[in-house]
Amino acid sequence: MAGIDVAIVGATGAVGDLMRQVLLERKFPVRSIRFLASAKSAGKTVEFAGKRYPVEPLRPEAFEGVQIVLSSTPSAVSREYSPLAARAGAIVIDNSSAWRMDPDCPLVVPEVNAAQLQHIRKGIVANPNCVAIPLCVALKPLHDRWRVKRVVVATYQSSSGKGAKGLADFEAQLQAWVRGEPIPPPTAHRGQLAGNVLTLDWTLDTNGFTEEENKVIQETKKILGDAEIGVCATCVRVPVRVAHSEAVTVEFHQQPSVDEARAALRQAPGIRLLDERQGEVPQPIHAAGTDWTYVGRVRSDPSHPHSLCLWLVADNLRKGAATNAVQCAEELLRRGIVSPRP
């Protein structure tokens, strides 16, 4: 059967594992598949479509014959290996932050700017930040109608944003906190997360914002294709296992309508609009394990006639990472950029 030759880099990590799962769920036409990871993971096996595959060490020769690479590694690893995969003839969909602001690498959310996949100059497609993806999914239908002028966003980000180590760290803290025992020192998070929130769970940059906040600021402008949009972000880690939430205030160039905004959001791809008038409010427990961006609490901003306020939630590991990457791969096929092999 015709299909695509695929490789997953970082195959034993939390996002790499989900990439494998999402490929199967979405029935992506895989002709062959390789699982690549660091030397310490080499020799392990993973299951895909009822068959066990060895995890191979990450090396340049592993990309021979591969058409699409789904990569989720630290940025330093990506800077070394993603160009090697591209030179071997593959298109790399890279989940690290290494290539997101490179002008020659499209930063793609398929529901928002899939047309940018026609301009892959380096052979690398950047998968955006896990906050910026659902934020732009929600902003896109509103931006099309009234053009976004400014966005102020406060995030409520789950422990799984730190990967499997973050979840293990949080779980150990939570169990001790529930039992009234001394909280073990953090190993992945930068402080106690159980019964607490952390505003500095990321590296602080020289401008006073964290690296996470700066990613949201810069990437939102690039994804929406408007460098003039003002963005201010405050990113916070909260004691939730999976799914990030965002409180968003959006100022437009024209005066918006709440009813029209709800209608636009209801019809937009990738969005599930919930109506608080019927007791429906997006929560992390709704989003976890799904690929939807849940939006609700849509209302006028009483402090500014051109602004709306809204609340959104999405699974940071799926739509915020693995699913968005697989959707990009699907778009590469749909647009004829990559063709199935017999």
User: Which CATH number goes with the domain that contains 80?
Assistant: 3.40.50.720
177-192 average pLDDT score:
95
Closest of 293, 318, 290 to residue 134, by C-alpha: 293
Q: In angstroms, what is the C-alpha Rg of the chain? A: 20
Which stretches of the chain are assigned E, i.e. beta strand? 4-9, 30-37, 45-48, 51-57, 68-71, 91-94, 124-126, 148-156, 230-234, 244-252, 271-273, 293-300, 307-314
Q: What are phi and psi of 85, to 5 degrees?
A: -65, -40
Residue 342 domain flag: no
Name the packing angle between helices 211-224 and 132-146 (round to 10°): 40
pLDDT digits (tens, 9 = 90+) for 20-73: 999 999 999 999 999 999 888 888 999 999 999 999 999 999 999 999 999 999
Domain that holds residue 253: 132-316
Q: How confident is the model at residue 198 (pLDDT cuts 50, 70, 90)?
A: very high
201-212 average pLDDT score:
97
Into how many domains does the chain fold?
2
What's the confidence (pLDDT) of residue 39? 82
Question: Are residues 149 and 107 located together in one domain of the fold?
Answer: no
Nearest-angstrom CA–CA distance, 12 and 276: 40
124-153 average pLDDT score:
98
Question: Are residues 119 and 218 located together in one domain of the fold?
Answer: no
Question: Are residues 142 and 274 located together in one domain of the fold?
Answer: yes
Q: Tokens for 68, please give them.
A: 């699409």
Residue 304 domain flag: yes
On average, the pLDDT of the chain sits at 96
* Torsional sign, CA 155, 160, 162, 163: negative
Question: Are residues 165 and 292 located together in one domain of the fold?
Answer: yes
Question: Are residues 181 and 54 located together in one domain of the fold?
Answer: no
The catalytic site residues sit at 130, 244
Amino acid 207 reads N
pTM for the full predicted model = 0.96
Residue 340 domain flag: no
Question: Are residues 278 and 159 located together in one domain of the fold?
Answer: yes
